Structure 1
């Protein structure tokens, strides 16, 4: 390994005392490959084992905590005790080579898909019409009731219990990317006039539910993270000023890390008093060292990884690149960076070792990424 890459492989100790072997994280990636009932499919196991092999932390695809929250075809579920046997198999392969294995616990809210939810029902903080994953036509989301809100908060706790019973090392609360927790923070999605109008009440009560479950069922080594989106394009939407307030609350919680969801780790703020400043550097400053920050976004090369770490983040998450080349980290460590695959090649016989459904989406250009054929 070239000396300049050594910082990527240094150990880091989380607030709960757990040592993470390096600074790489497998990002939670939608793979549309679980069974129709949300149980873990056999095809997921080798896919996740290969991508977990060399990272310090490995995070599952977003896993719905209630049937109403299902937002993707082939989405894994952590909503039922009957999901636990498959989740145990998944935890085993993710942990097999030394990574810490986490379940990302998720509820789609307005983004849930009517064709996947009971009775085609979709609920959000406030009524809204929108298109979600792969949809050509808008669907309607009704206002979620106060009783359902309470049930959903409990469901995040129950999902945490199931993750613990399945042998996972932790959970990541999905508060980003326009899903339910994000929606409660957002003034675009949350136009309520009751107690849940407070943008921080729902996310903080979810955190409380998850922490309570961890304290009851797990030991002190159990990892709890929280993912968030710092800005959104909607008007009125989440701006950096609101995110600063959110982080002021989150950094006081018993969390082990925060995870900023960005398409480009070096992206800059759109508007307001922080306009044109790198989001990731602001976020790191606002967390103030209370817990580590994971950064993500368009990291395809070893130089990209170094540049990401130099922003100040403690960890860097790899998404599309570990899908293109599951040996990315190994090749850096072994001094074989010239062999890294950083583009999608639809002619590869091994199909990048992707599950069939995910490879098909890549081939059809569903996700933006470098391509050999420049499609």
Structure 2
């Protein structure tokens, strides 16, 4: 075991739940597009998770929709009904089989949901403002009742995750989905208690956190991790600024969360709104709240050396997505003192060996430049 990677291989204890993981590596939530039509997990997904259940101390699932109205991808798994619990238990059991801790990411797509995936063909959001993308549907503005029902659905999702045997949940408040849509001045133009000022735009995200925390306290009956994923900025004008996000992060830090997971494509990247601002967004968030609220970093961390550099900055854990698609043994190779054998490019002839479901595989190969490929 190389002494050079002591930070990667050190255990970490989450401050609220008290749960300990045996390394600082997190399996990032990766959309598989491979669930069954009814929202249950497929055998191909189970094989994918089994292949990666030694890849990290903390293992995050692909996002699961909390209501059918929030389904954002073909082949997305659901956590919207008790009938999903046996399916979810298959995932939890598979991920935990080698001693890792398994978290279900809970999610609602809001205006980013494709109409063809929705029961009535109509997306919903904070306001009737379409996303800035070609062909985007104008969502229907949610009623007060729908907002309250959706908040409650996140709490119910956490209960089902606990009943299915997961060690926690990650609230997906990032990547332009519904929770972020309520926080964004682009997608939230409301004038009631759910929108307007920065504080009112925080109301929905904070209510979701409160609902999840209350549900966990009532139903989990054991230590249970609650984390939150956040995106630092938006390119839209008006849109979320880093100042907005730092204010939200400060408030989240008072909510008894176990971690904040900062979603960026490159951990060290600066502002997507101002090219002259080159300070790492993730680092700014860490500097604001990281001494009280653990921060998970992600984004273009490919080598053990890069991982150690990020951990040296004070970040508590690092999430790997592409790296664990390419080489599910990334962490094992460090543990065994063979980091030089880590694969650096996706072997395009080895889908079956890597246990990547066909829909996910096809998406990876069609996403030009996102993954280094080995022909």
Q: Name the TM tier (shorter chain).
A: over 0.9
Aligned to 1:183: 181
Aligned to 1:309: 311
Aligned to 1:12: 12
The 1:334/1:77 distance shift into structure 2, 3 A limit, reads same
Aligned to 2:31: 30
Is the counterpart of residue 41 in structure 1 residue 42 in structure 2? Answer: yes
Aligned to 1:162: 160
Is the counterpart of residue 75 in structure 1 residue 73 in structure 2? Answer: no
Residues 286 and 315 in structure 2, CA contact (< 8 A), matched pair in contact too = yes
Aligned to 2:93: 92
Instruction: Tell me the distance in 1 between the aligned counterparts of 2:40 and 2:56.
Output: 24
Aligned to 1:291: 293
Residues 351 and 359 in structure 1, CA contact (< 8 A), matched pair in contact too = no
Aligned to 1:215: 217
Point out which structure has higher relative CO (alpha carbons under 8 A, 6+ apart): 2
Residues 131 and 139 in structure 1, CA contact (< 8 A), matched pair in contact too = no
Residues 240 and 274 in structure 1, CA contact (< 8 A), matched pair in contact too = no
143-152 or 364-373, larger mean C-alpha shift: 364-373
Q: What is the 5 A alignment of 1:326-337?
A: 326-337=328-339
Residues 92 and 102 in structure 2, CA contact (< 8 A), matched pair in contact too = yes
Gaps of 5+ in 2: none
Q: What is the 5 A alignment of 1:205-244?
A: 205-244=207-246
Aligned to 2:104: 103
Instruction: Tell me the distance in 2 between the aligned counterparts of 1:351 and 1:53.
Output: 16
Aligned to 1:275: 277
Gaps of 5+ in 1: none
Aligned to 2:151: 153
Aligned to 1:364: 366
Aligned to 1:340: 342
Q: How many residues in Structure 1 have an aligned counterpart in Structure 2?
A: 370
13-22 or 56-65, larger mean C-alpha shift: 13-22
146-155 or 268-277, larger mean C-alpha shift: 268-277
Instruction: Tell me the distance in 2 between the aligned counterparts of 1:127 and 1:349.
Output: 41
* TM-score, normalising length: structure 1: 0.95
Instruction: Tell me the distance in 2 between the aligned counterparts of 1:213 and 1:235.
Output: 36
Residues 264 and 298 in structure 1, CA contact (< 8 A), matched pair in contact too = yes
10-19 or 93-102, larger mean C-alpha shift: 10-19
Q: 1:142 aligns with which of 140, 143, 158?
A: 140
**Alpha-carbon offset, residue 352 of structure 1:** 3.0
**Alpha-carbon offset, residue 360 of structure 1:** 1.2
Instruction: Tell me the distance in 2 between the aligned counterparts of 1:86 and 1:116.
Output: 20
**SS of alignment partner, residue 4 of structure 2:** helix
Aligned to 1:246: 248
Instruction: Tell me the distance in 2 between the aligned counterparts of 1:98 and 1:274.
Output: 44
Residues 259 and 293 in structure 2, CA contact (< 8 A), matched pair in contact too = yes
Residues 131 and 187 in structure 2, CA contact (< 8 A), matched pair in contact too = no
Q: 2:267 aligns with which of 265, 271, 281?
A: 265
Instruction: Tell me the distance in 2 between the aligned counterparts of 1:231 and 1:121.
Output: 27
Instruction: Tell me the distance in 1 between the aligned counterparts of 2:333 and 2:240.
Output: 39
The 1:358/1:288 distance shift into structure 2, 3 A limit, reads closer
**Alpha-carbon offset, residue 241 of structure 1:** 0.4
Instruction: Tell me the distance in 2 between the aligned counterparts of 1:309 and 1:46.
Output: 30
Q: Note the alpha carbon deviations across 1:77-129, whole angstroms, 9 max, x for none.
A: 00011111111111001111111111000000011111011110200111122
Task: Give the 4+ runs in structure 1 shifted more than 6 A.
Answer: none
**Alpha-carbon offset, residue 55 of structure 1:** 1.0
Instruction: Tell me the distance in 2 between the aligned counterparts of 1:348 and 1:288.
Output: 39
**Alpha-carbon offset, residue 361 of structure 1:** 1.3
Residues 226 and 257 in structure 2, CA contact (< 8 A), matched pair in contact too = yes
Q: CA RMSD in A?
A: 1.8
**SS of alignment partner, residue 119 of structure 1:** coil
**SS of alignment partner, residue 237 of structure 1:** coil
Q: What is the 5 A alignment of 1:54-65?
A: 54-65=55-66
Instruction: Tell me the distance in 1 between the aligned counterparts of 2:358 and 2:126.
Output: 35
Residues 270 and 276 in structure 1, CA contact (< 8 A), matched pair in contact too = no
Residues 54 and 97 in structure 1, CA contact (< 8 A), matched pair in contact too = no
